[in-house]
């Protein structure tokens, strides 16, 4: 079970955990259920992950919920996923607000329906002064598109004479990403056994510890989170330098 002393028992606690929540469809398929059933269970796993991170004292949790490429799925599945998102935003905001969670949504909002962007704005506004866990959900998110929009805005600012070429460095660039207020992820988990990033946080994950877990997202629970944090604690991060030992 999780407890606060885990911080001492294991190595360093990751300040920022990012998760590619994959395997909902296969979870459902393996039970002879429609894919939407897997997505529904996936939403329960989100609750567990949020609660687990709060209990463990993780400061930032970022969840990949829907990619720019997921728009290519059949319209019925996209509708189901948007419906679930709507439901999640309506139902969970009170609970998140009560628990001191700060909610943030990243991604291309222009492709979302107006009622969903309204719910997102309300949720972010209601929780913006909270100082507990920062929960970031990536929706209609693609890292390449995120980088391109940053380049465009920096180029436009340069053209207006607001930025000199010499000022453009990693730090300035990071400030133009959707994640400008977040530290880079320390631990990046992907469930379902797939070992790829699928266009998630390509810039931000430069030095993240990667962990691929053989569990479908709907089965992800606090023990999985604990295990992932233990694995992270056992890793040695070098950032290109030599070992400290």
Which two tokens mark 229?
Answer: 């944090």
Q: SS3 sequence, 84-133?
A: HHHHHHHHHHHHHHHCCCEEEEECCHHHCCHHHHHHHHHHHHHHCCCCCC
Cβ-proximal residue to ligand IPE, closest one:
25
Secondary structure class of 184 (helix, strand, coil): coil
130 is catalytic: no
22 is catalytic: yes
**Considering the rule CB under 6 A, would residue 64 count as an interface residue with ligand IPE?**
yes
Choose between 23 and 185: whose C-beta lies nearer to ligand IPE.
23
Identify the residue among 20, 22, 67, 119 touching Mg ion (CB under 5 A). Answer: 22
**Considering the rule CB under 6 A, would residue 105 count as an interface residue with ligand IPE?**
no
Alpha helices for the chain (secondary structure H): 6-9, 24-29, 35-56, 75-98, 114-127, 143-159, 170-174, 222-234
**Considering the rule CB under 6 A, would residue 220 count as an interface residue with ligand IPE?**
no
Which two tokens mark 216?
Answer: 């479908």
Residue 14 contacts residue 187 (beta carbons within 8 Å): yes
Binding mask 169-208 for ligand IPE (x = CB under 6 A): -----------------------x-x-x-x----------
**Considering the rule CB under 6 A, would residue 67 count as an interface residue with ligand IPE?**
yes
Identify the residue among 13, 16, 18, 25 touching ligand IPE (CB under 6 A). Answer: 25
Residues of this chain that interact with ligand IPE (CB under 6 A) are 20-26, 64-67, 70, 81, 192, 194, 196, 198, 217
């Amino acid at each position: 079970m999780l407890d606060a002393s885990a911080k001492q028992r294991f190595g360093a606690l990751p300040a920022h955990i990012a998760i590619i929540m994959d395997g909902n469809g296969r979870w459902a398929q393996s039970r002879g259920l429609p894919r939407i059933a897997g997505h529904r269970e996936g939403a329960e796993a989100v609750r567990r992950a949020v609660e687990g991170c709060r209990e463990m004292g993780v400061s930032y949790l970022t969840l990949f919920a829907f990619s720019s490429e997921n728009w290519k799925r059949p319209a019925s599945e996209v509708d189901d996923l948007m419906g679930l998102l709507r439901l999640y935003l309506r139902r969970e905001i009170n609970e998140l607000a009560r628990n001191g969670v700060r909610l943030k949504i990243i991604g291309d909002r222009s492709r979302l329906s107006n009622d969903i962007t309204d719910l997102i704005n309300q949720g972010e506004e209601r929780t913006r002064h909270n100082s507990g866990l920062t929960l970031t959900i990536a929706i209609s998110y693609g890292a390449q598109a995120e980088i391109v929009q940053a380049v465009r805005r920096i180029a436009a600012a340069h053209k207006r004479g607001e930025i000199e070429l010499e000022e453009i460095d990693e730090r300035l660039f990071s400030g133009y990403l959707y994640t400008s207020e977040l530290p880079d992820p320390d631990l990046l988990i992907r469930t379902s056994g797939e070992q790829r990033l699928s266009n998630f946080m390509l810039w931000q994950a430069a030095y993240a510890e990667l962990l691929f877990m053989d569990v479908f997202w709907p089965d992800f629970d606090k023990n999985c989170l604990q295990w992932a944090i233990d694995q992270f604690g056992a890793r040695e991060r070098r950032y290109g330098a030599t070992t400290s030992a």
